[in-house]
Amino acid sequence: MKPSRLQTVLDCSPADRVPFLPAIYEHKAWFVKDTPSNVASDVDLFTRAVLAEYEALQPDALTIGIDVYNVEAEAMGCEVIYYDGDDTSIPAIGTDGAAFTEEDNFSTVDLPDPYKDGRMPINLETARNVKRAIADEVPVRGALSGPFSLAANLVGPERLFMLTVTNPEFVKGLLFFASEAAKRFGEAYIKEGCGVVVFDSQASPELLSPKMYREFVLQPTKSLIEHFHKLGVKHVPLIIGGNTTRILSAYLETGANNILCDFSANVDEFLSECSERKRAFRRNIDSTDFLAAPASVLHERAVAALEESRGYPGYVLGTGVVPYGTPLESLLAIRDAMFEYDNKLSRQ
């Protein structure tokens, strides 16, 4: 079977064009004119939403996930707030939603069962349906919470940040537990013929120091990614938002490929480090004003991001999280910029 465009780029081999991976999670629901709360809880809606996203945007991979940080935590007892009626807010774990405290002994806590607990089965069935519908046209990946982000939901983010100082050994144990939970969910996706994407933005250096990233997050993340490599998943993307330039070396040490160079990160350093280690990265364009900015502005922003790539074969064009309700023409303008860039390169 011919490798997908994305696979080729993740191998840092020349592809026919730069892959396009807009970050569409809650906005999936917009494609079926429903709310994130409804779509995240219903296999049929969820499947239709992912397929509608695919049809409208033709991204180079699909990710199964709406409220990507909640699923494992909810399956372990954390309380997710859903919104009623036509409220398009994103389901979230509330300030009182944590299911555990530092008093809990995680060596005795059961890992979640992806086929039974919470909405994990909904996500898996959606992945199965999408795979059935599109076969191998583009990779389908299941979204997983990274160890630090899952741990933050399990005990509460503020509590977890405090515990890194007051009870570091507890945090280390908790992160390995969280890593095991992610492994189990990831294995289920892999059995469906999908890849995985690990999301861990709570571990961003905007919040956690590079030293703490190394001390707490690196090893459980490495263990998670190695596990998926052993199961035959060659490339495991790891998404950490914000300016990750300060943790770039540890980020690469996780073993992840297709790491995130968010719009605030230093693309030159990513180009230099990633080309040296033959790794791919996704450069995000800023999505904070996607609802208001004219499509022409987003087009220009995409052109600028593509120019920054300087033809690096491991470069993927992405966006920050696309807000619910972003006009289709805005996303297509970004896509058009990518085609124009490829045409320009092929003429040179």
Contact residues for other proteins, defined by CB under 8 A: 26, 81, 83, 87-90, 92-95, 157-158, 161-162, 164-166, 205-209, 212, 242, 246, 287-292, 320-321, 323-324
CB of 314 to other proteins, least distance (A): 26
Taking the least distance from each CB to other proteins, the nearer of 81 and 133 is 81
CB of 117 to other proteins, least distance (A): 22
d(CA 84, CA 255): 41
Q: Which among 94, 87, 44, 36 is positioned nearest to 65, based on CA atoms?
A: 36
CB of 95 to other proteins, least distance (A): 6
CB of 48 to other proteins, least distance (A): 21
d(CA 9, CA 137): 16
Taking the least distance from each CB to other proteins, the nearer of 127 and 203 is 203
Taking the least distance from each CB to other proteins, the nearer of 187 and 269 is 269
Taking the least distance from each CB to other proteins, the nearer of 231 and 291 is 291
Main-chain dihedrals φ then ψ at residue 282, nearest 5 degrees: -105, 120
Angle at 297 between CA 293 and CA 303, to 5 degrees: 140
CB of 107 to other proteins, least distance (A): 24
Taking the least distance from each CB to other proteins, the nearer of 34 and 192 is 34
Count the neighbouring beta carbons within 10 Å of the beta carbon of residue 323.
Answer: 17
